[in-house]
Amino acid sequence: FIPIEREVYIINKYFIGRTNWDKAYMMSINPEAIYFHGEELLRNEFYNKKWDIDKCERYRIFISSAVYPLKGLHILMKAVALLKKDYPQVKIVAPLAEFDSMSVQLKDYLKSLVRKLGIEGNVIFRKKLSASEMVDEYCKAHVFVLPSFIENSPNALGESMSTGVPSVVSFVGGVPYIVEDNKSTQMFTAGDHMYLAYQLKRIFSDDELAKRISIEAQIIAAKRHDKVLVRDQYMQICRNNLIYSVSKNE
């Protein structure tokens, strides 16, 4: 934690979170705090359009964010270099705006890595995407990858689960509390590009696995991001917060 984050945890009493991971960190710094569980709403576009394996582009991988090294784009690139041997047409698609926002050092490293790995024709950067365009990219992809080194409850994973595109995600932070390996996703150890390539290959080569992951993910997302349930959650949090505040001042 940077000092200001630690200060926020210490001086505040009430917190809203979504995973046991964020709760554990909050309680370790401020064990007297009161923790409420509250899910997140997605943008409207992500509730309507669904992924279909018969309509996706085979071996197309979508990564929604890559602006920091912690997002793991370089790990995905290394995995794709391995996959290219069996799937020459495999490609990574990432928003171009993310690339424009990267530091000069990261840009230079990724460019040199692309050349070193020989995947110049396998990486595509898109322009900045609107919500509807993001949905289209999820649905067009064969798989969504979240190769991050740290996450809590990433919106991108919620979006991918809601649309139903199969995902391969790193086992980090709060992610294991959202999805289950080999059921609603395929997991790999963060930083392990060989394991990532293996998990991607499993989805590429097994349509039944891809469809099963898609269905399970949609079931979880439908509950976690249900508009009425989330609204009621926060209404109850506000009521509980008011009760705690009144009790404290009596």
Q: pLDDT for 212-224, tens place per residue?
A: 999 999 999 999 9
Mean pLDDT of 5-9: 91
d(CA 36, CA 53): 38
The single-letter code of the amino acid at 215 is I
pLDDT tens for 51-104 read: 999 999 999 999 998 888 999 999 999 999 999 999 999 999 998 666 666 778
d(CA 67, CA 62): 14
Orientation angle between helical segments 104-117 and 73-83, nearest 10 degrees: 10
The pLDDT assigned to 245 comes to: 59
- pLDDT value at 243 more than 70: no
CB-based contact 26:33 (threshold 8 Å) = yes
Of the chain, the end-to-end C-alpha distance in Å amounts to: 35
What confidence tier does 126 reach under pLDDT thresholds 50, 70, 90?
confident
- Residue 182: which of 195, 198, 199 has the closest Cα? 199
pTM for the model stands at 0.92
pLDDT tens for 158-179 read: 999 999 999 999 999 999 999 9
> Strand 34-37 relative to strand 123-126: parallel, antiparallel, unpaired?
unpaired
CA dihedral (89, 90, 96, 100) in degrees, to 10, reads -110
